[in-house]
Chains A and B, each alone.
Chain A
């Protein structure tokens, strides 16, 4: 058996990558901003899918690790004047460590109890951010964030983000296509049977959660610097819900699904906001449509269309 990433798939990835890298040539600040932000939310959604699509548990509190990464990095950079590298590493580590502790409790549970416990922990994080005014500036938002001079420029930050995200996605791809990744899918598919082929299922689910926390932290660190501020909303459950919808929209049974979902939902939000203020309504309709008609998301829809119109035909 060979790699599932076919030659066409590989070529498609490469083309998208090059197109992204060329964005600054178009001299459009708007476009650079959009692509930067999409890259960040895409990593956030991909990280969540390690828990949902790969380990088979739904987390309603993934924003917690995103926010911790963002806040810790922002505070260390700004309040304590740390250099970028140790500060960013500390941010990611804080997110990872919190995820490790939360996952220790959550992976004792499954289904709705797991989901509710992730939500409870994330609300705890939100409450701490909200109340600890001296450190986080509470609901006024932690702003401005001191962004190091090296990346304190739209194009420089774009390339910085792109490198970090591409490396992160590559690492995630390897993890999900490793012995661990495939065993994790077995855990998702049938926990009982996985246990009885000798897989330590709780340990696997814990590990998946920690990995997800790590990459959510990475996304959070980038997000805080991109917006030059962190806000309590980033830790709120609505943020967790939004990334969950992105993941579902793209498709949880595919590695790149959440990335597509993130890009589409982000663009839809931008476009909708230009014409109407009823984005939440549009979002609700999208969510309904996925859950009722397309539970395996846009990727599933794409596959169905491809099958219908004669499989391998050139587009």
Chain B
């Protein structure tokens, strides 16, 4: 449905005002930075300003704002806003998916963990990758065929729309908000380090930029920001890895030997056991990461941006290719940080890495490539964060405006103009929430933080999606009770686990020993869904079960298929 021309001209006007304001802000940046510099020196936590980094940073921001402006001109309907019109190719969408998923947690967080603990940090890399084959095998085609914009569309296809949508919306918003924390912490630390700006100002800046992208450019702007970012990130990671390997005659053996010689833990970093010793703890991480990915609403949403199921499958495969390459490079970059930084006193203050462990990759780029590469990598890392936050914001906004407002309140017949306005207002609210949570969790490792929402996604969204697609016995009651149990137990156990109970809330010891309880909460959610479904004798349960066969055919052959209809 077209949006009125008055609304579009208002949009353009507001965008121009914001564009001018940001241009002014950027023009004044040197003065602000000059003011900020003494504070940096006093705190001893940030390094001298990197002019190249700042120039690249400004270039990237300007480019993305131009993209948002271009995209805002093309948004004519809710479809344009939520799924970029649904006309991307498999390769474009694959790059955007990779751009969406290769987050600050992956690049900064995993590198930081390898820097500190060696091999054990790679658990997060294999975990981040392993969900993609399952996404292709189980979900890519089926989800694409029976949804429109969000995963709530998929689960509400055969279950009672109003009730299951509420649960799916709660699951989506919870995951989106938790995932935002990791990205905001990464962004705040990065800008704090580069610009010498206070952490709080840094995350407000990020939040403002993302609100501009999403509010005006929707999924179209978000997609192109993600594609550009994916290309830049892969290019930057390749350059760093190449330069690292060139210092060790392109011998992985030499790199690992050199790293183990300078790391305080010695050769222990080459094998498992420095950070994790308990196999159950490792299993909790692996389960959370693999199955959590399958329930991430902003990732599932990307499957609707292509025109066919074939393109959906191809996009997942292309995304896997990009990510496989990236996570393999992280081995070189991670151990490269060990080799080049532990022997370099200029990046340490009081025995701690300048800017914290999350900044190891940035320091490495400076050591192997100088200011130019550091500037480039910093801009890429910043782009990474902006792209992921933008994707999350679109997903959260769609949950409120499309699933809640259009789907439940308006019973599928919303006023398109009001829906778009609500989407934009929701984007702003999500940005504000992200800032508050980013401040609260600022001292945590971003890889740890990014795994927490995966626990919730694995315990709430994944079981609903999987059972509604693959088990005819699933009923609305079973799905709701199971998802509620999954949500309560996963959040409850995360809160009383070590990362929140001890690190954030300051208690002496945790009430639950594991950070990522999906190993326990996901099976609990499945069992609960099964039990409350098989014992459900209601009239709605009969309808839910009956609807399965039609969904089965639609999901395999496409939404317009009528093979089983008589």
The finding on whether chains A and B are genuine partners in a shared complex, rather than unrelated, reads no
